[in-house]
Structure 1
Amino acid sequence: MILNPTVIANLLASYTSSGMLVYAAYYGMQILKHWNIESGDELQLVLERKTYLISTVLSFVFGLQLLSLFLYIFTADALCPLFVGAMCAAGTLNVNGFGYPTLELKILNFLLAGLWLVLNHADNQGYDYPLIKKKYLLLTLITPFIVLETVLESFYFLGMQADVITSCCGSLFSSEKEGGLGSEIAALPAKPMLWLFYGAMTITLSSGLWFYRTGRGGYLYAGLSLAMFGIALLATISAISLYIYELPTHHCPFCIIMEDYHYVGYLLYVLLFGAAVTGIGAGLLTAFGNVGSLQQELPGLIRKLTLASLALFALFTALVSYEVATSSLVLSYEVVY
């Protein structure tokens, strides 16, 4: 293990989150089995007292989970000078077999944690905890993933050795390298991917505006938001990053978070992840539109989430367009890798 303040912060955040979630999931299972708002027995009263405290604590825990993704990437980037061959976070994450699996779980858990926060906020709008069983069911599904993330993250940081020679991002995300997910994504043709990005974004924004104005098509917008999230990540690696670096062969999704590129990557990722969570959350909340105690409050919340998602997607697109328009890189239609 490399003793570094950011490494310790990552591990403390993970252990805290996992411990609190396991504790909360235990009571969540009791709520799923025994919750009855119309009952006045002792167990129901105990559950009602505990659920407010647990929900409040979980709001902070899941907020910490959202931040932990960016802390993890920041830590990997900060540690790259310690490893031979590492030029950015891409190389640091490759020092052993647990770096990238941990990152993938953190991305998944970011989306799940964000959706739980949306569901919890909606539940708090009702006087009778109308979504309590649903949010605790989601909690019991999320908890194993976050515990697994903590285990993998521990293996990753505790297994770090400073004498390891790792690969640089130019090797990991090279269109000329055979094999490897990063190389396969980098090999996607840049111009078509850019057109796919703008086409998919146009469809997503149009669907969101329709949903915002009419209240119909919520599930469609949720699905498109998730699809747009994936397409945007692929486009960032295969095409958008080329314009930021102004190099036709550099596809790294991590160098854009560095000072040399004005930390633009952090802003891009915050906008994209925020848009995905709010867009998916807004669409999924339409399933509870007929819940009695939420009929007055829920439509307004859905509209706010939809508007936030549209704004974040639009800002992401505007920033990408600015980087493309101001870049000195010119790619032919045939595309230079």
Structure 2
Amino acid sequence: MILHPAVIALFVGSLLTSGMLVATAFFAVKILCHWDLASGSERQLSFERRTYLLATIMACCCVFQLLSLFLFIHVADSLSTLFPGAMCAAGTLNLNRFGYPTLILKTATFLLAGVWLILNHADNRGYDYPLIRIKYSLLLMIAPLLLIETGLQGGYFLSLQPRVITSCCGSLFGGEAGGMVPTLTTLGDAPVLAALGGVITLTLICGGIYLWQGRLGYLFAALSAATFAVGVVGLLSAIPVYIYALPTHHCPFCMLHREYGHVGYLLYATLLGGGVAGVGMGGLQPFRRVASLASSLPTLQRRLVLFAMVCYGLFGGIAAWQVMGSELRLG
């Protein structure tokens, strides 16, 4: 194991988060089985007292998950200087079989944790805990994923061997490599960029209609999810080549480096932020008619729509700036 301060912070933080989440999951099962707001029993009163504390603990765990994704990527990138053949995080994540599965799970738990925080915030606005079963059901979905992620992350860090030679990002993300990600690089830059621009435009238009008239909520959530998916494809295929001004360099990690202005962090943060806000807004849509949320939910949803629009607008603007300002011109 590499005794890097950030590695230790991630390792210990994940263990603590997993432990707290498992403890909270046991309480969540009791909530789902026995919660009855109409009851005045001692057990129900105990549930109501403890749910605020446990929701706060869970919120802290979710915030850590949001931060840990970027910390993990930063650590993987900073460790690249220790391994022969590694130029960025792509090489260090490829050092053993745990690297990329850990990254994928961290991305999934980032999205789920963000949605949980939105549900919890909405639930706290209702006087009768209207979303308590929903948010604890989602907690039971997050808990096993986080445990698996913690195990994979531990396996990744514990298996790091400085003398191991790894592959560089060119061989991992080039068109000659096997797998789904290299296949995306063959889609062509123009179609991907056109699709990305189109779906962002539709999302912004739909968001504007929602802010103006309060309609098309489900469509906005669906378009937000589509924008996130197309944005991921764009970051794996079309956008990098313009950032690097190299038509064969599709690495999604080199853009995190100083020589490219750390623009990758801005792209990832805005894309993930827009995805969480857009999907989270859609997750609240079925509860608009709940009496205890009637006054607070529309305001919260409008804020989420506006936040998603700002994030996707920034993502599209930064991507367009990189493409138009690049020295690379493809026919």
4+ runs of 1 displaced by more than 6 Å? none
Q: Give the match for residue 122 of structure 1.
A: 122
The amino acid that maps onto 1:94 is N
- Post-superposition Cα deviations, 1:32-51, rounded to whole Å, max 9, x if no partner, equal 11111121111111111110
Alpha-carbon shift at residue 9 of structure 1 (Å): 1.1
Alpha-carbon shift at residue 213 of structure 1 (Å): 2.1
- Describe how 1:36-47 pairs up with structure 2 within 5 A: 36-47=36-47
Alpha-carbon shift at residue 187 of structure 1 (Å): 2.0
- Describe how 1:1-337 pairs up with structure 2 within 5 A: 1-175=1-175, 177-332=176-331
RMSD: 1.0
Counterpart CA distance in 2 for 1:224 and 1:25 is: 32
Alpha-carbon shift at residue 216 of structure 1 (Å): 2.1
Does the CA-based 8 Å contact 1:82-1:162 persist in structure 2? yes
Does the CA-based 8 Å contact 1:271-1:315 persist in structure 2? yes
Alpha-carbon shift at residue 214 of structure 1 (Å): 2.2
Structure 1 stretch 48-57 or stretch 217-226: which is displaced more?
A: 217-226
The count of corresponding residues between Structure 1 and Structure 2 is 331
Counterpart CA distance in 1 for 2:109 and 2:222 is: 18
- Unaligned runs of at least 5 residues, structure 1: 333-337
The amino acid that maps onto 1:8 is I
Counterpart CA distance in 2 for 1:147 and 1:331 is: 45
Counterpart CA distance in 2 for 1:229 and 1:16 is: 30
Counterpart CA distance in 2 for 1:214 and 1:326 is: 37
Alpha-carbon shift at residue 272 of structure 1 (Å): 0.6
Q: Secondary structure at the match of 1:328?
A: coil
TM-score (norm 1): 0.96
The amino acid that maps onto 2:330 is L
Counterpart CA distance in 2 for 1:217 and 1:142 is: 29
Counterpart CA distance in 1 for 2:186 and 2:11 is: 35
- Unaligned runs of at least 5 residues, structure 2: none
Does the CA-based 8 Å contact 1:197-1:232 persist in structure 2? yes
Alpha-carbon shift at residue 220 of structure 1 (Å): 1.7
Counterpart CA distance in 2 for 1:152 and 1:237 is: 23
Alpha-carbon shift at residue 281 of structure 1 (Å): 0.8
Counterpart CA distance in 2 for 1:49 and 1:250 is: 55
The amino acid that maps onto 2:11 is L
Counterpart CA distance in 2 for 1:130 and 1:145 is: 25
Q: Secondary structure at the match of 2:237?
A: helix
- Post-superposition Cα deviations, 1:238-294, rounded to whole Å, max 9, x if no partner, equal 111111111111100000011111111001111110011001111221110111100
Does the CA-based 8 Å contact 1:172-1:180 persist in structure 2? no
TM-score (norm 2): 0.98
Alpha-carbon shift at residue 302 of structure 1 (Å): 0.5
Does the CA-based 8 Å contact 1:194-1:239 persist in structure 2? yes
The amino acid that maps onto 2:29 is M
Structure 1 stretch 102-111 or stretch 207-216: which is displaced more?
A: 207-216
Counterpart CA distance in 1 for 2:16 and 2:214 is: 39
The amino acid that maps onto 2:290 is V
Give percent identity, aligned residues only: 51
Does the CA-based 8 Å contact 1:174-1:182 persist in structure 2? no
Structure 1 stretch 220-229 or stretch 137-146: which is displaced more?
A: 220-229
Q: Give the match for residue 335 of structure 1.
A: none
Alpha-carbon shift at residue 182 of structure 1 (Å): 2.6
The amino acid that maps onto 1:326 is G
Does the CA-based 8 Å contact 2:171-2:177 persist in structure 1? no
